[in-house]
Structure 1
Amino acid sequence: MNQEMEQRHILIIEDDVHINHIIADVLQKENFLCTQSFSGSEGKMNVSQQVYDLIILDLMLPGLSGEEFMHELRTNLSCDTPVIVLSAKEKLDHKLHLFDLGADDYVTKPFEVEELLARIYVHIKRKSTSSFPKVYKHKNLSLDSNTMSVKLHHSELNLTRQEYKIIELLLKNPTRVFSRQDIYELAWDDLYMGEDKTITVHISNIRNKIKQLDHEKYIDTVWGIGFKLSK
């Protein structure tokens, strides 16, 4: 096996236990790490907690359907992990719809594991060659968008997804002042419904987590407007 493919982590989302185990067995023999999910909801939970190199996705799933999972993955979770869809549906318009949702490849059931494995290697290799460090820094704070992690003095901050998105927004736009509405709509991907304390609470939580490692100021409140990175 190609050594650079070692220990890549693949998420399998397939409710058919037999097919799920077959795929996992084949991948583990190829030295991939595997996480097995048996519903769309379980798959979404796994993605929210772990970064994967590739996702294998069935469409007919309990909980979230495959199409609903794709929508959540590419919008609310802002995840660009390659996805290979497994489906018995062969119509072109259905395949085009899945590509519109953000799928990267499509394998029709029943399938040969050799074909699936070949496609996995193609996408893993493509991801590894196109991936490059996307690191944003401010003072002692750094954000790596490849691993979706934030470190302060080389210690990783334990952030919620929304806290991560707020820091990402500020670090990518270091001179901009963001209103609460800006932050809500850009970090939540949702319409702002008026004044509330949601953003203030999240900013306060971020400041408290930073303060445990560094007493320097990182986020300024611009009274009457919103928030920006401190100078």
Structure 2
Amino acid sequence: MEDEMKQPRILIVEDDEHINNIIYTLLQKENFLCTQAYSGSEGKMNVARQTYDLIILDLMLPGLSGEAFMGELRTNLKCDTPVIVLSAKEKLDHKLNLFDLGADDYVTKPFEVEELLARINVHIKRSAKSKLITLYKHKNLVLDCNTMSVTIHNSELNLTRQEYKIIELLLKSPTRVFTKQDLYELAWDDVYIGEDKTITVHISNIRNKIRQFDEENYIDTVWGIGFRLNK
């Protein structure tokens, strides 16, 4: 049981049984614990009931597509498990769209198993390092990186993905003043194209959600610069 707990868990979501079995056999030999799923819906059910260290995801899936699965994973399930996408589509704009959805890596079919294994090991090691610290706390606000949840006085805040990312950035760098450009580019993973009200509105929404449970100020406005965690 102790050895099993140390083995990384990987979910394989691939409808092609032959490819799924090839990946499964490869990873079993490398001492990974693997779960096989053959549709996006089956993959989603597995994620809902089990924590994984990595997900290998095909795009052309029956029912819930790979793209739709990514949306469910990052928004409704609030799961930050690394995802390696497998796809025969090679166009740059398609790859960029997947990264926007929250994918961490992309392997083009047909692929060499050695390359896939190397990428898997990189993400497993990176994820293990990031999970050494999983809880960040400021006053009564607690962020859990494993569950991607934020609670205050033991009540979970209902946050959008960007609101969560903003709080995560502030709590992980409590002394840093973030400009609007910093927050936009880090939370949206996009290029900031100039002054707008997007960040201001999101900060206001976060403050309102916190205020439902705690009247104390948690985010300071640094006029002319940006925002930081209240000291």
TM-score range, shorter chain: 0.5 to 0.7
Q: Which residue of 2 aligns with 1:27?
A: 27
Q: Which residue of 1 aligns with 2:152?
A: 170
C-alpha change, 1:136 and 1:43, in structure 2 (3 Å) is same
Unaligned runs of 5+ in 1: 138-142, 149-163, 190-225
Amino acid in the other structure paired with 2:115 = E
Distance in structure 1 (CA, Å) of the matches to 2:114 and 2:6: 18
Identical amino acids, percent of aligned pairs: 67
Q: Per-residue deviation at 1:135?
A: 3.3
Q: Per-residue deviation at 1:227?
A: 6.2
Q: Deviations over 1:56-96 (max 9, x none)?
A: 00000011100000111111111110000000000011001
Q: Which residue of 1 aligns with 2:93?
A: 93
Alignment RMSD, CA only? 3.4
SS in 2 for 1:52: coil
Equivalent residues in 2 for 1:128-147, closer than 5 Å: 128-135=128-135, 145-147=144-146
Equivalent residues in 2 for 1:26-105, closer than 5 Å: 26-105=26-105
Distance in structure 2 (CA, Å) of the matches to 1:227 and 1:53: 34
Unaligned runs of 5+ in 2: 162-210, 215-231
Distance in structure 2 (CA, Å) of the matches to 1:134 and 1:122: 20
1:125 aligns with 2:125: yes
Q: Which residue of 1 aligns with 2:187?
A: none
Q: TM-score, normalised by structure 1?
A: 0.61
Q: TM-score, normalised by structure 2?
A: 0.61
SS in 2 for 1:36: strand
Q: Is the contact between residue 169 and residue 187 of structure 1 (CA under 8 Å) also seen in structure 2?
A: no
Amino acid in the other structure paired with 1:47 = V
Q: Which residue of 1 aligns with 2:116?
A: 116
Amino acid in the other structure paired with 1:107 = V
Number of aligned residue pairs: give it. 163
C-alpha change, 1:171 and 1:48, in structure 2 (3 Å) is farther
